[in-house]
Chains A and B, each alone.
Chain A
Amino acid sequence: MLTLERITKRFGGLTAVRAVDLEVGAGELLGIIGPNGAGKTTLFNVISGYYAPEEGRVLFQGQDVTGRAPHAISRLGLTRTFQIVKPFGNLSVSDNVMIGALTRLGSTREARAEAERVIALCGLGPYATARAKALPVALRKRLEVARALATRPRLLLLDEVMAGLNPSELAGIIDLIRRVHAEGVTLIVIEHIMAAMMRLAQRIIMLHHGEKIAEGTPAEITRDRRVIDAYLGEEFTLAQA
């Protein structure tokens, strides 16, 4: 589904992502972890076309999409959500999602119907007519997912959709991610919350200073010495004991 070949992205003297290779199969649910500034979001920006990498190639379904515009990549079926949510604030929830659906659908009527379906799937039904900027954080994160889903992606990049949520909201969004995955969407998820990641991801990669330093199943990752040193720290080791 997605292949990254030695992706390197620099900002001036700073190398945010260094020679990252990655292979994601169809139907997979991959997690990306790493401390702040590890280059996770930068990697997403490269994959989805917001940044052109200095080196390396991005292949989506065998097609080289390196350096293409985000909208072109999105139309191929690869889209993303934003860590800092970007709702169309002055529009209703329904209109937000409908704009996503309009990319594939020509008529506003079909797009409205598709938006209703996606809104129901994401549990936003009661808020369909609310202005997006009036929503609390947890619902804005859901809206972010709903809007992306309305484009009918094959591969969806979720950038910290769980950050800042309370435990019950967290359970809700994990449930939503599982349902999306069950519908056949391949997912790459950036997340800080390890407990959630352990429950969700089939495979996890860890970035540190822009490099991929570990890769494996959740169980393998938590046992990896480099991961524990770089990220989880002593407290985690103690908690595990």
Chain B
Amino acid sequence: MTRLPPGRWAAVVLFGAAALTPLVVRDSFILDSVILILLWGALSAGWNIAGGYAGQVSLGHAAFFGLGAYAAALMSARYQQSPWLGLLVGVALSMCAGALIGYLSNRLRGPYFALSTIAFAEVLRIVASRWRGFTAGSEGVPVPYRPGFWTLGLSHVAWLYLILAVALGCYALQVYLERSRVGYQLAGVREDEDAAEALGIATRRLKIKAIMVSAAVTSLCGSLWAQYVGFVDPAHVFSIDLSIRFALNSIIGGIGTALGPFLGSVLITSLETYLRATFSGIPGFSGTYLIIYGVVLILIVRFAPEGLTGIAARWRLRRARAHA
């Protein structure tokens, strides 16, 4: 048997634990937490394809999330069709939007690109809030619950396995990006576009493709989220808070690594859930969790700028040196 690298072992443990949870507990709060950890992890993995592997840091990925969420919600609420159909429509729309954003990434670099992605998501938020006849405006769209797989009215356990499958797919996609030809070429683009061009890599086209795939994954997760949560409103699904969250999970977990987004999600999602549950009951302290949350983020960025996977790599290096 070939030995797995440590990161793969960690992934086996993480996804294995998630898969075993429903066999051990029936508590819907815990199941819900695991589902959200996996879903936010998958979303960050989607962001990581553009932001980490291709080096195109976007702060507007909520645009794709919102397109997916609205496509699925409107398809089931307004047209009484399967949300899966809406999911496909969302993915198609998001890939078009991704192509547009990708085109922007070829005109604008670094912070200017990030700013333009924020603007893009904001435009969609305003459209969704104002186009009352179609999107119901800022009131939002309640998603009808119709039991069944085709209508995505699932139990907590079924949701957990569905989202786990999506998360595993995202993880596999990232592993592919670490080892494949296109993955290496993408790394070249991220490190230095001019040098990549000189080596025969069509950098512009490759960046657009990466952003389109990233958008598709984000949109798909957005659709599932809408069906899971059961309510979509523009102020949330197109918010910059969401965009930052996708980026933050990856950065904290380890940007440009396959496991990073999921580790980041484990830490951030569980911390947030725990702090919110602890402090929300105390009058006058309901916002405290945001302060603690902020302090933790500052500490991580200060002491582990390469993220959690970076810390693990450093430990391994130190241990290897101690053995030598």
Contacts and interface: CB of A to CB of B under 8 A. Distances in A.
Interface of A: 48-50, 69-72, 74-75, 79-82, 86-91, 95, 98-100, 102-104, 106-108, 111, 147-148, 150-151
Contacts of B191: 87-91
Instruction: Please report whether the interface of chain A is mostly helix, strand, loop or mixed according to DSSP.
Output: loop
A88 B180 CA distance: 17
Given A108-B181, A111-B181, A79 B198 contact: yes
A150 B196 CA distance: 13
Contacts of B197: 49-50, 69-71, 74
Contacts of A50: 194, 197
A151 B200 contact: yes
Contacts of A75: 200
Contacts of B192: 86-89
B187 A147 contact: no
A95 B184 contact: yes
Contact of B198 (A91, A111, A148): A148
B185 interface: yes
Range of interface residues on B (Cβ < 8 Å): 20 to 34
A108 B196 CA distance: 17
B188 A69 contact: no
A107 B184 CA distance: 11
Main SS class of interface, B: helix
Contact of B184 (A69, A81, A86, A102): A102
Interface string B171-213: 0000000011100110110011011111111111000000000
A49 B200 CA distance: 11
A111 B201 CA distance: 15
A81 B185 CA distance: 18
B257 to A, nearest CB: 12
Given A87-B195, A108-B180, 13 more contacts: A49-B197, A70-B197, A70-B198, A71-B198, A71-B202, A72-B202, A74-B199, A75-B200, A99-B185, A102-B184, A103-B201, A108-B184, A150-B199
Contacts of A147: 195, 199
A49 B203 CA distance: 14
Contacts of A106: 181
A79 B195 contact: no
Interface centre among A81, A87, A100, A104 (most CB of B within 10 A): A100
B96 to A, nearest CB: 24
Contacts of B188: 88, 91, 99
25 contacts: A50-B194, A71-B198, A71-B201, A74-B197, A74-B198, A74-B199, A79-B198, A86-B194, A86-B195, A87-B195, A88-B195, A90-B191, A91-B187, A91-B188, A91-B191, A95-B187, A98-B184, A99-B187, A99-B201, A108-B179, A147-B199, A148-B198, A148-B199, A151-B199, A151-B200
